[in-house]
Structure 1
Amino acid sequence: MDYIAEYKRWLENPALTENERAELQSVQENKEEIESRFFAPLSFGTAGLRGVLGVGLNRMNRFTVGQAAQGLANLIVSNGKAAMDRGVAIAYDSRHFSPEFAKQSACILAASGIKTLLFDELRPTPELSFAIRHYGCIAGINITASHNPKEYNGYKVYWEDGAQLPPAEADVVAKEMAATDIFSGVRTGDYGAFVESGMIRILGRETDEAYLNEVLKVAVNPDCVKQVADEFKLVYTPFHGAGYRLVPEILRRLGYKHIICEPEQMKIDGDFPTVKNPNPEYKEGFNLAIELARRNDVDLIIGTDPDADRTGIVLKDKTGDYVTLSGNQVGVLLIDYIITARKLTNTMPAHPAVLKSIVTTEMARAAAEKNGVACFDTFTGFKFLAEKIKQFEKTGSHKYLFAFEESYGYLAGDYARDKDAVTASMLIAEMAAYYRTQGKTLYDAMEEMYEKYGYYCEKTVSITMPGVSGLTRMKELMAELREKPLGRIGTHQVEYTRDYMSGIRTRMADGSAEQMELKGQNVMYYELEGGTTFIIRPSGTEPKVKVYIMAKGDSKAAAAEKVEALSAAAKEIVR
């Protein structure tokens, strides 16, 4: 694409406001910035769109959002009148322009004759997934960039099962977008008129009630909360986002009486002013909550990201310091607890299973299988976990108990098909109450997990590759890894290489190969001696390459030592 010509086309288009035109004029001397904004359109895939807010073809703005909404509208229209009447549920988070993009999308769909169900204010992502299933919608849209920095926004699209858009439908939307002129090809209409005519229906607290009722059904052993509710205190923070109302409410309904919400972070604000990054993965975001916990002698802090699909926790350790648990650690704790509670309450189904992604800790498999529960891997992304759940429903081969990813996403129950921080917060609180009845904290419980299942340690090394040159380098890197296979990583011999694009697993000693069940993803997976794993995967939503290191050792220190050595090796390989 001639990015200079595209820049001029935008600059001269009368559809731009004066402020939008001024933004483009401000970069006219910066060729690199012009290229960044106009070298290619934002890529639409199964995760929809995600990018930096701003004016340009490769930015999130009302034009790129409008083009995506028209592409989705065309897909739905091609499915016939029944699909159009089923409608599309639309939600949004606390980010800049999220309400505007949501309303704009509703108007574009309505102009194509498609009914929409638009939430009246910000809502958790999992509630959108629930609403699609609850109201029988054909699709859903969520305006969110999840846990990304404040400069970002996104356009996530869901299909009728409440999971993210399948590849075939995503391809249709992408083709329709490419065939739609971004300025003249998008049809819209008057919002007020569409609401009055019933083409746009506003969803409110009645949907929250239906959703919370389903979430509460996922509780396994809520009686343990009653035993400690009078004295157990916990701190909650929504990081200025969509969990601010429903997470405290579900904890109250579970039976908790002392829920202390961090007041500054309960304020809805797309600038996320109290955190550097609104991601519950990072301890820095919990600083205010930790101070609040100290003042109130609280052992457990729960935090959810801006669209309330990811959950992080901070615990008080034996020395009184506050420490974070990783997504892997929380997932293992929940697997062990859910299995224990199911057995205690005699609610374990036949053929139970837990699900995880290929980059998620193998400690999860150990915890499941040692307790007689099957463990299955999928590709990274909750849409793949949702596909596996759907497969179980069709075949009846297994009943899933719990699904999770190392990136702080967890799901239980059949009401939704995306990770759910509302349910996760409830289960974590229930689990904490159970251990309190045993005279233990969650920190104590995690220490016991290592004794029960072995010493595992994981680390994700993220290497940012920004701009056009970064995208090029990411492609070159993956090609190099396939052309020149790694025989050794640091001091570790590679025993097997899995190329998840071709689906081939190769034994490095003799070159013998076997076909795997999973294929079609740009991931290189290295099985090292001693049961350690080294995985290289370009991010699908951010300009970075992620290296996942998963080690097992004879002790915590031995496993951690392996991880640190391989982290250094990762930075030598990915550059």
Structure 2
Amino acid sequence: MLSTASRPIGGKDNLPKRHTAWPNLQPQNIKAACCSNPHQKHQAAGLGTTAGFLLTHFARNELGSNAAIGAPLLCPCTDTETEDGPGAELLPTPGRSYVAPSRLVAALGRYQAACARSSSGPACDDSGYRRITVAHPFRPGDPWRRRGGMGTGSGTVSQVAPLVRFTQSCDQAGTAASLGRALSWEIVPLCISLAFWEPFSIDPTRHVGAGAPDERSVNLKLNDLRTPGCTRGVPGVHAAVVNPGQPRVPVPVPRGAAGRTQHTSSPADQLPNNCQQQEIVDEMALERPPPALDSLVQEWLRLDRNPTTRKEIEQLHQANDHDELESRLRQLIKFGTAGLRAHMSAGFSRMNDVTVIQASQGLAAYLIQDVPDATKKGIVVGHDHRHNSERFARLAVTAFLRRGIRCCLLEGHVATPIVPFGVRLLGAAAGVMITASHNPATDNGYKLYYSNAVQIISPHDKGIAASIEQNLEIDEEAWSTEPSTQVSEALLIHKSDMIKDSYLQAISGLTRPSRLELHSKTPLKFIYTPMHGIGFPFARQAFETAGFPPDAWLPVESQKHPDPDFPTVKFPNPEEKGALDMAMSLGRTILQTAPEQKLMIMANDPDADRFCASEWTGSTWNTFSGDQIGAILACWTLQNFKKSGKPLDRIAMLSSTVSSHLLAQIARLEGFKFKETLTGFKNIGNEALDLEKKGYKVLFAYEEALGYMFDTGIFDKDGIASIVVWAELATELSQRGSSVADFLETIYKTYGYFATNNSYFICKDPVAVRTKFRGLRFGEQAVETSGHTNSRSMLLDRLRYPSTLAGYLITRIRDLTIAYDNGHPPECLPDLPSSNDEMITFYFGGEGGEVIATLRTSGTEFWKLKYYVEGSAEDQLTAQTKVDRIVKALGEEWGFSKL
């Protein structure tokens, strides 16, 4: 039996080359709903057979399961009323479902130009139509909006007639399908030919999706699939939306696919004799690319004024590289809580001048609407040293200034923490940092801090994304990289030096003046690497301001200057294996002439918001994990606070849910407030800000990915502040005759032994990852046959999580993707909010302490399936052994290493 569980939809070898950017339905998976046995009708392929299914697949691919949370997608092949979301069962089975028109319109609107194909060909008469009666919930005057890479549109529903016509077939060619007349938007075919077999009728009922109360929905029920046998294969239909009032887009006429038999062996031979598999090749598409793609190319060339990126698209077009053009031009780059981050190249889905200008225009419009006096408060803008970073920053400033928003462009390369510090210091409306942090050299990004000086969270990300899509047009003046020539001097804020000086002064406040003399006599030599980033001048100045002697600072010369190509590191990330190799090599050179010298390596990532350290033990380098550094910094900060004599009940510390639980244990035993958050400093920072509003003093927060936050007025990770605190604690411990490793052992003896193993599996097939997570939730059989339901009780009944791994019993499961935690019966609702990414935590019981394993996908590094495994025991070796055993089983027993 074929199914999308065992044979994922897609595959570049299954369709003509230029079709691969569209939803890639395998021919052998589409063929089967013509079987005479109604019970086998959907089982044979695991797929539905109507244009409704094609819309379902389109919506799923374009919106993605994560984007669909709380918003229904069209799927006329499910047993019960359904609502798809992250982790939901998306595979169709007979039944009904619903679609939120505004959500579908937003996705399909990007494809308007894709319908501009020849309108020649025969027209269908009434016998070629199938009637679809839609009892839709729209009222006259209801608004709708079309969004997308080809422009924007809006209107109101002006007709409430319940009849919608859908063109199923007409002789050898299908024609346009108006699946939206009653809703005042038209849906016309996109240019790809697919095959489906049988007539159908739809009996709709009204349904408003629970999770999306502001979106009215149309519920389509498939109720007539009784026709036995096969009918002639006809081209299937995807759809795009035409703005009411605009000229109708010419109707494409699919050619050639209908009625032709493709001779193939299994699985086609598994069908009954009366079923023939249809070839799904559009002959016109084989001869030339769809004019829809031509339209996208022309739209890009109309907007882009950068000769380099214009040439990229022109050359791809001349070379007929349709796959690459589809990849670059079909979708807009996604703006999320991390802002923008992508490969730098031409195209609407990449980081380049066009997308930076469009993002800045949309952000400016949103701020003016959402932040009081945004134009007066202004925006702080900084950039790192990456290719195009300065240019992107200047284009962003031009966009802000042209909309009357004051701007402070920080001069030169800056460390990322300086931007949120500047936002808070100036009381600015927002801050933008152009950086891709520790991503490869080919990437860049656009990180946003809101008026609270913290990274944005929902709903601002969605609001800004919508505003960007409404501000896509670019005029000639937007291309100036000399903002001062575009506006009056009054709009420019010249406080760059003041912000940098105040930032370094705030960091110096982390050390007490009485310690300056001790610092000046440090017995340590500190080897420092900024990984070819911008950290060196800021780290050195902070180091010396804290009283440490210049001769104790030993930079890795080959890595200390900014280099956007990162020539000596494969990945400019201190977490990656080998990242500290050159620093260690420098240390060994020092030891050749001074074998008793005490050495400490300190490293920042390229934008200097992360920190890593490694200590020479006398025989080897001991590189501390992110969790170990977090525990060390937390305990050091706590010890210093205790010396003030103030009570601990009004101080707080935070860490992310994938970080070590050791900090929570310390908080329980010491009596201060601890808060666990979702991953990312956008969550940590906003929670910390809320705690301060409630009267707590937030001393420290961290996440295991080498991010550490201190009491400097910045609610974000800060690698420069980490340098100063770490140098201080290492110096004082060394002067006592101890080491950082000894200090960590004391922490373990006091609060318990915790061991971690955090890394990732590489998987570049998101379909396989989603299938694997669905299998963990519902079991493999459920993946093949079950639909998702918006009834929580039915959802709970369907869950089939594994019960053991590596011989350990699973005692608790927390699945933040579907808001489930069986540790909180009877509702089984978790304490933490839902995650937009896949994220499941398994708790394992056992003698001597438990093991906790979290699996999650990454929002910024889609090829990584990350795991975080932690165990506790009476000694370090036992804890580490248990953890490593679980990690091995994740790869082998659960198959994550084989994705």
Q: 1:6 to 1:570 in 2, by over 3 A?
A: farther
Matched residues in 1 for 2:477 and 2:465: separation?
14
Partner of 1:211: 503
Partner of 2:484: 192
Report which of the two has the higher share of strand.
1
Matched residues in 2 for 1:36 and 1:63: separation?
16
User: Is 347-356 or 533-542 further displaced after alignment?
Assistant: 347-356
Matched residues in 1 for 2:533 and 2:429: separation?
27
Q: 1:151 aligns with which of 442, 445, 466?
A: 442
Q: Does 1:421 align with 2:719?
A: yes
User: Is 212-221 or 164-173 further displaced after alignment?
Assistant: 212-221
Question: Conserved in 1, the CA contact under 8 Å of 2:856 and 2:865?
Answer: yes
Matched residues in 2 for 1:362 and 1:150: separation?
34
Question: Conserved in 1, the CA contact under 8 Å of 2:296 and 2:329?
Answer: no
Partner of 1:515: 829
SS at match of 1:245: helix
> How far off its partner does 1:254 sit?
1.0
Partner of 1:551: 871
Matched residues in 1 for 2:292 and 2:540: separation?
48
Q: Does 1:441 align with 2:739?
A: yes
List per-residue Cα deviations over 1:251-300 (Å, max 9, x = no partner).
11111112112222111111111211111113522222222223333421
> How far off its partner does 1:202 sit?
4.2
Q: 1:320 aligns with which of 610, 613, 619?
A: 619
Partner of 1:533: 852
Partner of 1:363: 662
Q: 2:777 aligns with which of 478, 482, 502?
A: 482
Q: Does 1:503 align with 2:798?
A: no
Partner of 1:388: 687
Partner of 2:528: 236
Question: Conserved in 1, the CA contact under 8 Å of 2:873 and 2:879?
Answer: yes
Question: Conserved in 1, the CA contact under 8 Å of 2:527 and 2:556?
Answer: yes
Q: 1:219 to 1:226 in 2, by over 3 A?
A: same
Q: 1:400 aligns with which of 698, 707, 718?
A: 698
Matched residues in 2 for 1:5 and 1:567: separation?
50
Q: Equivalences for 1:94-493 in 2 at 5 Å? A: 94-181=385-472, 183=474, 187=478, 191-194=483-486, 197-219=489-511, 223=515, 226=518, 229=521, 231-257=523-549, 258-296=552-590, 297-317=597-617, 319-346=618-645, 350-396=649-695, 398-466=696-764, 470-484=765-779, 485-493=801-809
Question: Conserved in 2, the CA contact under 8 Å of 1:502 and 1:519?
Answer: no
List per-residue Cα deviations over 1:292-338 (Å, max 9, x = no partner).
22333342111001111000111112x42123111100000111111
Q: 1:333 to 1:526 in 2, by over 3 A?
A: same
Question: Conserved in 1, the CA contact under 8 Å of 2:523 and 2:731?
Answer: no
Partner of 2:222: none
Question: Conserved in 1, the CA contact under 8 Å of 2:658 and 2:868?
Answer: yes
> How far off its partner does 1:87 sit?
0.3
Matched residues in 1 for 2:720 and 2:410: separation?
17
User: Is 457-466 or 145-154 further displaced after alignment?
Assistant: 457-466
Partner of 1:23: 312
Tell me the number of residue pairs that the alignment of Structure 1 and Structure 2 aligns.
Answer: 568
Give the TM-score of the pair, scaled to structure 2.
Answer: 0.60
> How far off its partner does 1:122 sit?
1.1
Q: Which amino acid aligns with 2:739?
A: T
Matched residues in 2 for 1:16 and 1:554: separation?
64
List per-residue Cα deviations over 1:412-451 (Å, max 9, x = no partner).
1141121011111111111111211221111222233333
Q: 1:348 to 1:291 in 2, by over 3 A?
A: farther
Matched residues in 2 for 1:5 and 1:456: separation?
60
> How far off its partner does 1:348 sit?
5.8
> How far off its partner does 1:539 sit?
0.5
Partner of 2:880: 560
Matched residues in 2 for 1:344 and 1:320: separation?
35
Q: 1:7 to 1:225 in 2, by over 3 A?
A: farther
> How far off its partner does 1:162 sit?
0.7
Partner of 2:784: none
Q: Which amino acid aligns with 2:614?
A: V
Matched residues in 2 for 1:224 and 1:253: separation?
9
Q: Which amino acid aligns with 1:454?
A: G
Question: Conserved in 1, the CA contact under 8 Å of 2:341 and 2:436?
Answer: yes
Q: 1:461 to 1:295 in 2, by over 3 A?
A: closer
Q: Which runs of 5+ in 2 are unaligned?
A: 1-109, 115-289, 591-596, 780-800
Matched residues in 2 for 1:195 and 1:409: separation?
38
Matched residues in 1 for 2:517 and 2:681: separation?
29
List per-residue Cα deviations over 1:63-115 (Å, max 9, x = no partner).
11111111101102224772111000001112111111000000001111111
Matched residues in 1 for 2:371 and 2:699: separation?
36
Q: Does 1:70 align with 2:357?
A: no
Report which of the two has the higher share of helix.
1
Matched residues in 2 for 1:5 and 1:536: separation?
43
Matched residues in 2 for 1:463 and 1:548: separation?
11
> How far off its partner does 1:30 sit?
4.6
Q: 1:274 to 1:198 in 2, by over 3 A?
A: farther
Matched residues in 2 for 1:426 and 1:498: separation?
37
- Which of 1 and 2 has higher RCO (CA within 8 Å, sep 6+)? 1
Matched residues in 1 for 2:476 and 2:455: separation?
25
Q: 1:17 to 1:412 in 2, by over 3 A?
A: closer
> How far off its partner does 1:26 sit?
4.9
Matched residues in 2 for 1:350 and 1:227: separation?
31
Matched residues in 1 for 2:472 and 2:292: separation?
12
RMSD: 2.5
Question: Conserved in 2, the CA contact under 8 Å of 1:241 and 1:305?
Answer: yes
Q: Which runs of 5+ in 1 are unaligned?
A: none
Q: 1:570 to 1:183 in 2, by over 3 A?
A: farther
Matched residues in 2 for 1:331 and 1:97: separation?
34
Matched residues in 1 for 2:371 and 2:702: separation?
35
Matched residues in 1 for 2:767 and 2:345: separation?
23
Over the matched positions of the two proteins, sequence identity in percent amounts to 27
Matched residues in 2 for 1:288 and 1:347: separation?
44
Q: 1:131 to 1:349 in 2, by over 3 A?
A: farther
Matched residues in 2 for 1:275 and 1:512: separation?
51
Question: Conserved in 2, the CA contact under 8 Å of 1:495 and 1:527?
Answer: yes
Question: Conserved in 1, the CA contact under 8 Å of 2:820 and 2:830?
Answer: yes
SS at match of 1:128: helix
Larger-gyration structure (1/2): 2
Q: 1:438 to 1:366 in 2, by over 3 A?
A: farther
Matched residues in 2 for 1:315 and 1:451: separation?
20
Matched residues in 2 for 1:224 and 1:370: separation?
32
Question: Conserved in 2, the CA contact under 8 Å of 1:159 and 1:166?
Answer: no
Question: Conserved in 2, the CA contact under 8 Å of 1:536 and 1:546?
Answer: yes
Q: Which amino acid aligns with 2:656?
A: S
Q: 1:136 to 1:51 in 2, by over 3 A?
A: same
User: Is 272-281 or 73-82 further displaced after alignment?
Assistant: 73-82
